[in-house]
Structure 1
Amino acid sequence: MCEPFIRNHQYNYIRNQADAVLHALRSVGDPKIWESVRLSAQTKVLELFPDLSDNRKTLLASISDVKTAEDVHNYRLALEPYRIGFPPVTEKQIRKLFPKNKKLKLPDLSQIDFRQVSYLSWTDIATNKMFIVYPAGEGFVGVEGRYTATHKKSYCFVCSSYEELALFTAASKKRPAHASPDYYKSVGNYICMNGHECNKNMTDAASLEKFISSVLE
């Protein structure tokens, strides 16, 4: 029985490494350089899961064997049973994360492929707000804030990809000791307008987790 262990952003990272191996094979004439790319990809993928020692490690290591587009396709296909989806979440659970929003508009959860989701996000045009839901412990955390569309492309702080961005600004719940009652601090950053594309491009969760921590903790 397959034991899932690959999160969405890790799968994206592995996918990119496999594509890099194939690209090197097609574009580099020096066998030594291609061999270096091949071994580098294998090392980077295995470093994601340093504690693996069973057939899953063997499967990951086989990235060094890809030589054709079909090989890449089959490699990615073999990883599918090991992917960890976004934890099951209900509308009721999401609403509890944003108790002050009595008329919270939610995305259609039935239309989301949660295997391809690292974080759940959506916008409410009527209130000009963006909402983010992220797994934490045995449950979830929620962050809401204002968003301002830039109508320009640049690099997203979550996925580091060149996409159309919005400035997302959330009120920090952190309060310094002896802060005045009217103390207010906002935390902002540029994030993909399209959450689906962001999740597809995301290869590391550290930046998002740091941002969420800066707002909530």
Structure 2
Amino acid sequence: MREPFIRNHEYNFIHKQADYVLHTLRTVGDPKVVASVRSNAQAKVAELFPTITDHRRTMLESVADLKSGEDFQKYMEALEPYRIAFPPITTKEIQKLFPKNKKLKLPDLAQIDFRHVSYLSWIDIATNKMFIVYPAGGQFVGLEGRYTASNKKSYCFACNRLEEVVLFSAIHKKKPANASPDYYKTVGNYICINGDQCNKNVTDVAALEKFIESVHS
């Protein structure tokens, strides 16, 4: 039985390492440099899963053995059955995350391949809001905030890639003691306007989790 163990961002990280090996093979003639890149890719992939010692480790570490584009495709395809899907979530569960938004626009969950998702995000043009859902600590967390178009490419804080981004500003959930009734604080950062593309790019969720914590803490 193939028990899934690779999260979306980890799969993307492995893909990036495999692609780097292939690119080096095609562009670098020095065998020592190629050998170094192979070794580094193998070590970085292995570091993602330090407790795995069975056949899966051998499968992962074979990233160092890639010799062609065909090898690259076979390697990535072999990992597909081991991908962990985003935890199951229903429209009612999403609505409960945003109780004050009575006319919440919902994503079409039936059209989403959850194996390729690290976080859910969608935009409601009518209200000029962006919504983010992320599984943290065994439960879902929802972020709601205004978005401001940047009309340019910049680095997304979630995937650290140069993409079309918007400034996402969420209201800080907790108020200081003795705060006035109209007190509010926003936490903002630039994030991909296209959540699907961001999920294809993201190789580490630390920045996303830190942002979520800054909103809720």
Q: TM-score, normalization: structure 1? A: 0.98
Structure 2 residue 73 is the aligned partner of structure 1 residue 90: no
Q: How much identity, in percent, do the aligned residues show?
A: 70
- Equivalent positions of 1:153-164 (< 5 A) are 153-164=153-164
Q: Secondary structure at the match of 2:169?
A: strand
**Partners of 1:41 and 1:176 in 2: how far apart?**
46
- Equivalent positions of 1:139-178 (< 5 A) are 139-178=139-178
Amino acid at match of 1:206: A
Encode CA deviations 1:98-125: one digit per residue, 9 max, x unaligned.
0001110101110111110000000000
Report the CA distance between 1:184 and its aligned residue: 1.4
Q: Structure 1: which 4+ aligned runs deviate by more than 4 Å?
A: none
Q: Bigger shift: 41-50 or 136-145? A: 136-145
Report the CA distance between 1:183 and its aligned residue: 2.4
Structure 2 residue 151 is the aligned partner of structure 1 residue 124: no
Q: Secondary structure at the match of 2:135?
A: strand
Encode CA deviations 1:57-105: one digit per residue, 9 max, x unaligned.
1111110011100001000011011100101110000000000011101
**Stretches of structure 1 lacking an aligned partner (at least 5 in a row):** none
**Partners of 1:27 and 1:55 in 2: how far apart?**
31
Encode CA deviations 1:15-70: one digit per residue, 9 max, x unaligned.
00000000101110000000000000000000111111111111111100111000
Q: Secondary structure at the match of 2:208?
A: helix
- Equivalent positions of 1:1-217 (< 5 A) are 1-217=1-217
Number of equivalences? 217
Report the CA distance between 1:170 and its aligned residue: 0.4
**Stretches of structure 2 lacking an aligned partner (at least 5 in a row):** none
Encode CA deviations 1:168-206: one digit per residue, 9 max, x unaligned.
000001333443333211000000010000000000000
**Partners of 2:154 and 2:215 in 1: how far apart?**
23
**Partners of 1:168 and 1:44 in 2: how far apart?**
32
Amino acid at match of 1:121: S
Q: Secondary structure at the match of 1:166?
A: strand
Report the CA distance between 1:136 and its aligned residue: 1.9
Report the CA distance between 1:145 and its aligned residue: 0.1
Q: TM-score, normalization: structure 2? A: 0.98
Amino acid at match of 2:162: Y
**Partners of 1:91 and 1:139 in 2: how far apart?**
15
Amino acid at match of 1:54: D
**Partners of 1:14 and 1:175 in 2: how far apart?**
41
Q: Secondary structure at the match of 2:59?
A: helix
**Partners of 1:138 and 1:122 in 2: how far apart?**
22
